[in-house]
Every structure is written in structure tokens, then in C-alpha cells.
Amino acid sequence: MTNLSPSVLSIRKMTTDDLDCVLTWRNHPDIRSYMYTKHEITLSEHREWFERSSLDPHKHMLIFEVDEIAQGFVNINESSSAGVASWGFYVAPDAVKGTGRKLGGAALNYAFSTLQLHKICGQALSFNERSIKLHQALGFHQEGTLREQYCDGKIYHSIICFGLLSTEWQVTIKGLNK
Ligand SMILES: CC(C)(COP(=O)(O)OP(=O)(O)OC[C@H]1O[C@@H](n2cnc3c(N)ncnc32)[C@H](O)[C@@H]1OP(=O)(O)O)[C@@H](O)C(=O)NCCC(=O)NCCS
């Protein structure tokens, strides 16, 4: 029998119980290769990062779930300017196609409704086609290009900067719900 009921999407705070799972995702080559920090992260390094970040009320480490199964990680960092934050994210390497879009939507609802933020900024390496398409699909504006800003050890890559205002997200949601 096929289950036709819609999936339940949710965002919750990351806990120490998620540490192993998130580290496995973060160290996966399909994820690591799109990050600025590309080395394999050790468990102690990961624990220290989580403990340090948990003490900072401006950092929000979140887990995206589909039907109560963890499918991705989202990081929202509020900057010094009130209501403005940057985000980063990745989906479980075995997640089905379309998970990124769902994660993005759920995380932005959390950012603009629960956290009441004004603006979310994102950055993607110029070869990260999926992230660029995802930002565009979610209604982000391309606000600039940092030309040859990142060196992977061999060659320089540009960084694409995106921004989305709370008011713009309301417009995107209306379009998605039509
Ligand atoms: C970026 C990421 C979250 C996207 O998740 P996903 O589940 O692959 O995304 P979706 O399937 O929802 O697709 C998002 C867009 O990418 C496109 N896409 C999917 N796979 C693609 C591929 N192999 N090549 C090019 N585009 C692709 C989709 O068509 C969609 O674009 P559209 O809305 O214009 O159709 C995921 O790939 C990931 O975790 N990547 C590694 C970490 C990372 O790059 N994080 C972002 C850092 S800025």
C-alpha cells in the first residue's frame, strides 16, 4: 500500500545526540568539497565547535527532519547588525533529490518567523551549482561576486553572495503556495 499522506517537515535545535550523525555528514566528500574548511574534522574538534557555539546566543545550530528523521543541518549566525544573519547548510548525503529545497524553506520559515530575523545572507562557491540554484529558487537576490576570493590549494574560485529579506520571503512563499 502506498502512503500518500504529505511528509511532515520540521526544524529543531541540534543536541549532543546529533553530534555523530552531523560529523559523518560534514566529513562526507560530497559535502566537504563545497565547504571553505575541507579537512576531515575530528570528533574532538567537532565537540569543541558545538560546545563553543552552544554558548553563543547568536548562533543557531539546527536539524532539519522529514517525518522525524534527520535529513540535514542548518547553521544560522546572527551578525553584529540587528536582525541580519548568515546561513550555511547541507543535506544528508543519501537524501533524496528535492531535500535541499525543503530544508531551505523550513529553515527560512524558522529564521523569519521563530527568530524574527530581517535578512539572511548566503555564500556559495562559484562551482556549487546546486547551492546557487537553491538560493535562486528560494528567492535570494545575488548581491555580488567576490572574484577569486577562495583558494582550494591549487586554484582560486569566486564566491557568489546572496541576500534575502523577510518581506521577499513572504512573496516567495505566496508563489510556492499558489
Ligand atoms: C546544496 C544542497 C543543500 C542542495 O540540496 P539538494 O537536495 O541537492 O537540492 P535540490 O534537489 O532541492 O535541488 C536544488 C537545485 O539544484 C538543482 N540540482 C540538483 N542536483 C543538481 C546537480 N547534480 N547539478 C546541477 N543542479 C542540480 C535542482 O534542480 C534544483 O534547482 P531548481 O530548483 O532550479 O530545479 C546539497 O546538494 C548539499 O548538501 N550540498 C553540499 C553542501 C553544500 O553545498 N551546502 C551549501 C553551501 S553554500
CATH of residue 74's domain is 3.40.630.30
User: How many residues in the chain?
Assistant: 178
Residue 141 lies inside a defined structural domain of this protein: yes
pLDDT at 49: 97
pLDDT at 80: 83
Element (H, E) at 89: strand 84-91
Residue 134 lies inside a defined structural domain of this protein: yes
- Using the mean position of ligand 1's atoms as its centre, give its distance from the Cα of residue 1 in Å: 30
Residue 3 lies inside a defined structural domain of this protein: no
Residue 2 lies inside a defined structural domain of this protein: no
Domain with 101, as residue range(s), is 9-177
Pocket test for ligand 1, best of 134, 149, 161 (most atoms within 8 A of CB): 134
* Residue 170 cell numbers, joined: 513572504
- Could you tell me the sign of the dihedral formed by the alpha carbons of 108, 109, 114, 117, in that order? positive
pLDDT at 5: 80
Residue 4 lies inside a defined structural domain of this protein: no
Residue pair 112/166 in contact by the 8 Å Cβ criterion? yes
pLDDT at 119: 98
pLDDT at 2: 58
CA angle at residue 140 from 168 to 103, to 5 degrees? 95
Element (H, E) at 77: strand 69-78
| Ligand 1 closest atom vs CA 130 | 16
Q: Closest by alpha carbon to 60, among 21, 19, 14, 91?
A: 14
Q: Indicate which residue's Cα is closest to atom 33 of ligand 1.
A: 137
pLDDT at 81: 87
SS3 27: helix
Residue pair 110/62 in contact by the 8 Å Cβ criterion? yes
| Ligand 1 closest atom vs CA 96 | 7
Residue 1 lies inside a defined structural domain of this protein: no
User: For ligand 1, which residues put their CB under 6 angstroms from it?
Assistant: 31, 34, 88-91, 95, 97-101, 122, 124, 128-131, 133-134, 137
- Using the mean position of ligand 1's atoms as its centre, give its distance from the Cα of residue 90 in Å: 9
This prediction's pTM: 0.94
Residue pair 121/89 in contact by the 8 Å Cβ criterion? no
Q: How many domains in the chain?
A: 1
pLDDT tens series, the chain, 178 aa = 556 688 999 999 999 999 999 999 999 999 999 999 989 999 999 999 999 999 999 999 999 999 999 999 999 999 888 999 999 999 999 999 999 999 999 999 999 999 999 999 999 999 999 999 999 999 999 999 999 999 999 999 999 999 999 999 999 888 877 7
CA distance to 3, 47, 76, 165, 168, per residue, from 162 (Å): 37, 30, 14, 10, 13
* CA separation for the pair 17, 19 (Å, rounded): 6
